[in-house]
Structure formats: C-alpha cells, structure tokens
Amino acid sequence: MRTTFPRLLMQHATQRPGAPAMRIKEFGIWQTTSWGDMAQLVKAIAGGLHQLGLRRGEHLVVIGSNRPRLYATMLAAQSLGAIPVPLYQDAVGSECVFPINNADVRFAVVEDQEQVDKMLEIREQCPQLQHILFDEPRGLRNYDEPGLAGLQEVLAAGAVFAQEHPDFFTDEMEQAQPDDVAAMFFTSGTTGNPKGVVHTHHSLLDRASVGAKFDKLTENEEVLAYLPPAWIGQNIFSYAQWLACGYVVNCPESSSTVMIDLKEIGPTYYFAPPRVFEGLLTSVMIRMEDAGSVKRKLFHHFMDLARRVGPDLMDGKPVGALDRLMYRLGDLTVYGPLRNTLGLSRVRVAYTAGEAIGPDLFSFYRSIGINLKQLYGSTETAVFVCLQPDHEARADTVGVPCEGVEIKLADNGEILVKSPGLLKEYYKNPKATAEVLTEGGWYHTSDAGFIDASGHLKIIDRVKDVGRIKGGANDGAMFAPKYVENKLKFFSHIKEVVAYGDGRDRVCVMLNIDFDAVGNWAERRNLPYAGYTDLAQKPEVYQLIKECVEKVNADLSRDELLAGSQISRFLILHKELDADDGELTRTNKVRRGFIGDKYSALVEALYGGKTEQYIETVVKFEDGRTGKVSATLRLSDAQTYTPVKSAA
C-alpha cells in the first residue's frame, strides 16, 4: 500500500464522513467519533503542535491506553512529518528515561495524572523534555509546571490556527512520502537497553493491508483495542489496519471493564496473546466447577462432543449426521451461550501470537466454533510474517508465509525473513542494525525453527536459548527452555515458568501458580490459605503441580529431539514474577538471565539436591513503596521417563 497514514484518514473522512471511526466508553456510555470528526480533531491537534514548535523529523512520545485523542495525536504528528513513539503506560518512570533521551524527545502527550507525574518525576534526567500535554485533566487543576498543558487547550488553539491557515494541514500532509519514517517502537529490552525499531508508512501499511486481504477484512469489522498501543501487535490491529480497512475501533472504559465491554461490543475481529485466552478459559472453568451438578454434567457431555468433532467442523471436514445434529444441539445449549459469556459470539477471525498456545487451549476455542488462528511476526517485521489460512489452523505451527514474505533457514536453524514489512533500522544503533539485517535484505529473527512438510513454519525456541545438557544420562541432549516453559504453562494451574538446564546435567524449573485457578481449586477442597505465598507452599499444591510436571515429562519422552529436556526438579516461587521487579518484560516475557541471577540461591539449591531453601526478596508495590517477601521454599523431585523410540 503506497500511501501514508494521514492520507488514509482523509480518504475515509472524504468518502464516508459520518461513518463511525472510533468509540470510547465514558461513564458507562459509548461515545462515537466519526471519520469526519476524527479528521477535524487531527487537523486541530496538528495546528496546535505546530504552534508549540513540533517540527518534521522530530519524535513525540505518546503514553496511555487506547484513546481517540491519543490516536488523533499520533496522526497529527505524522501529518506534520513528526514521528510518534508510543511507550507502555504501565512502565515506571525510570524505564521511560532511555527512550526519551535516545530519541531526543521534546514533546510527551500522555493520558492522565498518573502519566504526568511520571514525566515530572524524570524531567531532571530528560532536560530536553519541554512540553507535557495531557488528555484527561482530572486531578491536574492545581499543577503549575513549565510546559504542562491540557490537550484540550492545544486543540482549541490549533482549531483557530486551522481556520486562519486553511491550506496548512494539506500542504504539510502532502509532503510525506510512503518511505518516510512513520513510527518508532521500542523493544522490551530483555538484555540491556531497549532498541528503537524504525518503521516507514509503507512497511506498516503494506503488512496491514496484506493481513486484511488474507482474512477478507472490511470496513464492517468491530475491534476492541484493550492492549497497550506501545505493543506493535495492538498498534497494527487497531491503528494500521484500522486506517487500511476503515473499520471501527472500540476503546474500553478501563482495564477493569474490558470483559464487560467485550460482551457489549461483540468484536468480529479479535486479537489476544495466549495468556488472555488462558484467563478467559480459566474463568469459565472456575464458574463451571461452582455450578450445579446437572449443569456440570451437561457442560462436560457436550464439551466431550465438541473436542471430538468441533475442530473438524471448523476445518470443513466430513462429520457424521448424528454428530452434526448433536453438535447443533450443543451449540444451542452450551457453545452459543459460552461464546456469548466470553464476548466472542460475533468473532469471525481471532488471532493469537507472542507465545506458543497449548494444543488443548487452542482446540477448545476452535471446538466451540471460534475461528482462532496463530500468526508469527515481531516488532521488526511489522507483525505479519506467517498466517494460518482458514481450515489449516494447527496448534503446533504458526502458519504459512504471507504475501510478499520469503523465509529461509540458516545453518544453525535460525529463521531468516525477507519482507516489505522489515524495519528500516534500529535508531542510532548501526551495529545492532547490521547484526540483524544482511546486505541481501534478510532479517535475522533469532528464532530457531523449520518448515514442515505442509509448508507451515514451526518455532522451537530462541536460537541463543537452545542449549545442551552436559553430563548425566542425557549428556549432549538438546535443551529448549521456552519449549519446556510453554508446555507447563498449558496447564491452567501454572502461570509462569523459568527453566534452566543449558550446560548442566539436568533440567530444573521455578514456577508461579495461577493464584485464581489454584485458589479456587483449594477452596473446593476446604484447604485454607493466607495469600499467595502461603498457598504456593502447601504440600497439596506441590502434589498438584508435580502431576502437571510429570505429564509434561511423559509428553517430552515421546519427542526424539527433546526427550532429554525432561524436568528433574522444581519449586514454586514465593511471589509472582512482576515487570515492576524487573523479572518480566512489559510484554510479560520472562527475563530468564535476570531471574537466574536474582534467585541464584534457589537455582543452586535445585541443582544441589536440597529439599528446602530460605529466600528473602525485595518487591516494589504499585504506589512506589518497597517491601520484603520471605519464605522457606519446598524443592521437589519429579519422575522422568525413558525416551520412547520411534518405529523404524
């Protein structure tokens, strides 16, 4: 798609000015912004930013959740030739310092008082940060800081400017070219400082339009934008594809109302990482366990049928007449109400990505009539590299290369990608750019995988994380930590896992239980507990998790390549891993190296054969205070199995 974001906006505003572009729920009522309204909003904000001194090629950070005026701000910046840089709204102030200084940012447009306080807190470390503009004025009436102003004031001044200079916006917008820089996204920075991934209008819009064409998206789609705009997945689905297709983007009132808003909107096109689908299913199963015996029996009866024939029906495969009839009955009594409860009754296409999704979880959603598929991509590839066609959705692959993409494998198994959606560069980091982009135009993904016989891509792990067991019965065996971690996370009782084994004689893991799921499990067994730390160390909980670990080991024993990655020992951590404590990235990926250093005493206790280990950890609370959590942790052995050799 050889165009720019602002030109697409003006195209929609000209052709269908009254059609809804965005909705936001405020005080329980959905407010609609039409394409014509959005264009006027963008023009006014652009005029205001220009008057404040925002210039072509300059960066502007946007921090907040999905809000029409924040989206309009990004479009206004792009109209002036400036470059929006969305940052995570839940990041602490210190995490914003590097991106702001790295990109020489003078302008920050933020959502509310919380984000204003964050910017004021780091202002001394970012002396060039001149303007802090806020969307929501609540709580900010008595603030008196230089450069602090409401977006409403900027908008009002810009509206006057637009009237006085009617050709200004169009003249500025027309200067932008498809190959100009459109946005910059910072990586999560699992090792060292985050890197600014530079994308052009063309790289983002080309991938957005290819994805839209693949799934036949139209202007009639409804999308719920509830994930952070700083994550490129949300940005592609609710910003790039929004403008490419012209569908409606709906913004929840708050993070706590997402489930209610999901049911009210009934999106037709839905995207969520596996953890969201896991959470939805966990909530359903908890409610079913609390239901009466008749309802439980009915549910389990029809779910057994759905698991058996649902995926075949979804894939268009032949199913017997009786099973088809019973499935329709199940749809009336169980599957339909269940889809409605999940807020997914109107979904035509649903995607998950970011992490592997469990086969049982994946087949559950497809079995009840939800067209859940997987995709593969990254910030550097503008998301769309591989997509699963309808009727070819499988839990163990991430799809086939989509239009314009070439894939090849390096000698070490690394996946190399050539695509119109590749990053232009890492900002101010030519060394890192040269490491991932070859002269031939191939991007090094750092993922290890292979193309299977049906042409689908399979991901094993990160190349740098694939290691070898050294010593013991499995000496020399391949170890893929992410693969092992994901297999454990497929169980609803397990939330996070960190696996170790490279260069050691066996595999050991540290994990978090899912507090809601295990708490419900404990309550149904009259097992008392006083919070997460107490529940996590209950002998009954250890037995529950041990059964999960041993099921994974039995499964791994049948995998010729990874049978040596079976888990010998495990422990349940005394606290939940948290991004604020540096243990997770802002996209909730475990920082394995950091955790290994932080909890080195626990790692050594696992490998040293200890049965318990005392640990004390400093934690950071939401209000900025710090405290300590301490406990004596149990360490448990798990049964491993003799590898099952495949038939010759």
Q: What single letter denotes the amino acid at residue 643?
A: P
Q: pLDDT tens digits, residue range 345-359?
A: 999 999 998 777 877
pLDDT given at position 648: 40
pLDDT surpasses 70 at 311: yes
pLDDT given at position 647: 44
Q: pLDDT tens digits, residue range 17-32?
A: 999 999 999 988 999 9
What percent of the chain shows pLDDT beyond 90? 77
Least confident of 178-187, 208-217, 225-234, 269-278: 269-278
- The label of the residue with tokens 């499990």 reads 521
Angstrom CA distances, 86 to 66, 74, 196, 295, 499, stand at 11, 9, 11, 46, 32
pLDDT given at position 623: 66
CB-hemisphere CA count at 13 Å for 213? 11
Query: Does domain 5-200 fall into CATH 3.40.50.12780?
Result: yes
- CA–CA distance, 563 with 567 (Å, rounded to integer): 10
Strands 59-63 and 83-87: parallel
- The mean of the pLDDT values for the chain is 93
CB contact set of 44 (below 8 Å; sequence gap of 6+): 155, 156, 158, 159, 162
Q: pLDDT tens digits, residue range 125-169?
A: 999 999 999 999 999 999 999 999 999 999 999 999 999 999 999
Superfamily of structural domain 464-637: ANL, C-terminal domain (3.30.300.30)
Residues of 16-39 as b/e, b for ≥16 C-beta within 10 angstroms? eeebbbbbbbeeeeeeebbbbbbb
Q: Where are the domains of the chain?
A: 5-200, 464-637
pTM: 0.82
- CA–CA distance, 497 with 488 (Å, rounded to integer): 7
pLDDT grade for 189, boundaries at 50, 70 and 90 = low
pLDDT given at position 542: 97
pLDDT grade for 519, boundaries at 50, 70 and 90 = very high
pLDDT surpasses 90 at 52: yes
pLDDT grade for 1, boundaries at 50, 70 and 90 = low
Q: For 250-259, what is the mean pLDDT?
A: 92
Q: pLDDT tens digits, residue range 382-426?
A: 999 999 999 899 888 899 999 999 999 998 889 999 999 999 999
pLDDT grade for 620, boundaries at 50, 70 and 90 = confident
Q: pLDDT tens digits, residue range 570-595?
A: 999 999 999 888 898 887 788 999 99
